[in-house]
């Protein structure tokens, strides 16, 4: 216990963070072994050297070490890149020839392949290795105290967290598809017709006819065979006059003061005669019985 650098509470209730450079991970044939790790380190160093010559920098990550595992997060966005559960880590060591390098081997949960993770830390390689060792020691003690129940619970939590990540990824993909569909609908409808709006037709009566409005202009409407009917003549608001400029004579709408008294009396008699069945034959006025006309 004297070699441990952190309090048990820091690893059981929280985590210890470290910022390091991530060289990458590589599949290995065995879950442990010094030579296995050295071979993986050589491969990843060579691959990183090629990428560095191409102008790519070694990415920085944040390690969060606790009794539940080692999480690898992007140092800027804090996005989790890998979640290596402690019960899947089978080997951990720092390179004695290169004090900056440390590694651990973890079994992948999906493919069941053993992956070797390699990191570069200028000052903390040995300290990180000891921190992972302390996390193992505390996890084993807790396993003995709980009889293995805590490990099973953590497995279930890890499985649920993985499912949540999968659902979040599916949700992002579905949102992209919905946005693409909305763009396609807008292009199909065109700019003149807003999305979700349909042109409204004028209101009609019970005979499916548009109600007549004297204020509305008279427009030509197509007939049943497709041809347009001739436009209706526009009625003038002024009273029509004859060629002499006089208004047409209408004895039934003329006022009493328009004619002399004798002529007006004759007109009144004619009007009374028409009401009683008077007919006009040539220039003679005659009053026939109404029954003879039926």
Give ∠ CA 113-118-122 in degrees, rounded to 5: 165
Predicted confidence (pLDDT) per residue in 230-277, tens digit: 665 555 555 566 666 666 655 555 554 555 676 777 777 777 776 776
Q: Could you tell me which residues are beta bridge partners of residue 285? A: 280
Same structural domain for residues 78 and 165? no
Main-chain phi, psi angles of 181, to 5 degrees: -65, -40
Judged against a pLDDT cut of 90, whether residue 115 lies above it is answered with yes
Q: Is 117 in contact with 104 (CB distance < 8 Å)?
A: yes
Q: What is the pLDDT of residue 135?
A: 93
* Residue where a domain stops, chosen among 164, 184, 204: 184
Q: What is the pLDDT of residue 283?
A: 46
Same structural domain for residues 156 and 119? no
Nearest residue to 18 (alpha-carbon basis) of 59, 58, 65:
65
In a domain, 105, yes or no: yes
Q: What is the pLDDT of residue 91?
A: 93
Band (pLDDT 50/70/90 cuts) for residue 287 is: very low
Q: What is the pLDDT of residue 131?
A: 93
* CATH code for position 29: 2.30.29.30
Residues present in the chain in total: 294
In a domain, 271, yes or no: no
Same structural domain for residues 22 and 142? yes
Number of domains in the chain: 2
Same structural domain for residues 20 and 130? yes
Predicted confidence (pLDDT) per residue in 26-39, tens digit: 999 999 999 999 99
Judged against a pLDDT cut of 70, whether residue 66 lies above it is answered with yes
Same structural domain for residues 142 and 19? yes
Which residue has better confidence, 41 or 230?
41
């Amino acid at each position: 216990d004297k070699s441990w650098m952190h309090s048990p509470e820091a690893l059981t209730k929280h985590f210890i963070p470290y910022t390091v450079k991530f060289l990458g991970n590589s599949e290995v044939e065995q879950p442990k072994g010094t030579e296995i790790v050295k071979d993986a380190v050589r491969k990843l160093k060579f691959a990183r050297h090629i990428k560095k010559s191409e102008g790519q920098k070694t990415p920085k990550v944040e390690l969060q070490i606790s009794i539940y595992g080692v999480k690898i997060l992007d140092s800027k966005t804090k996005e989790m890149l890998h979640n290596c559960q402690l019960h899947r880590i089978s080997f951990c060591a720092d390179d004695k020839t290169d004090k900056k390098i440390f590694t651990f081997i973890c079994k992948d949960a999906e493919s069941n392949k053993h992956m070797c993770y390699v990191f570069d830390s200028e000052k903390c390689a040995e300290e990180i290795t000891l921190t992972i060792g302390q996390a193992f020691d505390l996890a084993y003690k807790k396993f003995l105290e709980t009889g293995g129940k805590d490990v099973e619970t953590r497995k279930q939590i890890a499985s649920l967290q993985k499912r949540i990540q999968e659902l979040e990824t599916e949700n992002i993909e579905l949102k992209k598809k919905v946005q693409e569909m909305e763009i396609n609908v807008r292009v199909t409808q065109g700019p003149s017709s807003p999305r979700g709006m349909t042109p409204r037709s004028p209101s009609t009566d019970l005979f499916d006819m548009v109600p007549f409005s004297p204020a509305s202009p008279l427009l030509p409407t197509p007939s049943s065979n497709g041809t347009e009917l001739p436009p209706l003549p526009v009625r003038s608001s002024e009273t029509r006059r004859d060629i002499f400029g006089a208004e047409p004579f209408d004895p039934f709408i003329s006022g009493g003061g328009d004619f002399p008294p004798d002529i007006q009396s004759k007109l009144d008699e004619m009007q009374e005669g028409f009401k009683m069945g008077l007919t006009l034959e040539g220039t003679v006025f005659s009053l026939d019985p109404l029954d003879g006309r039926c």
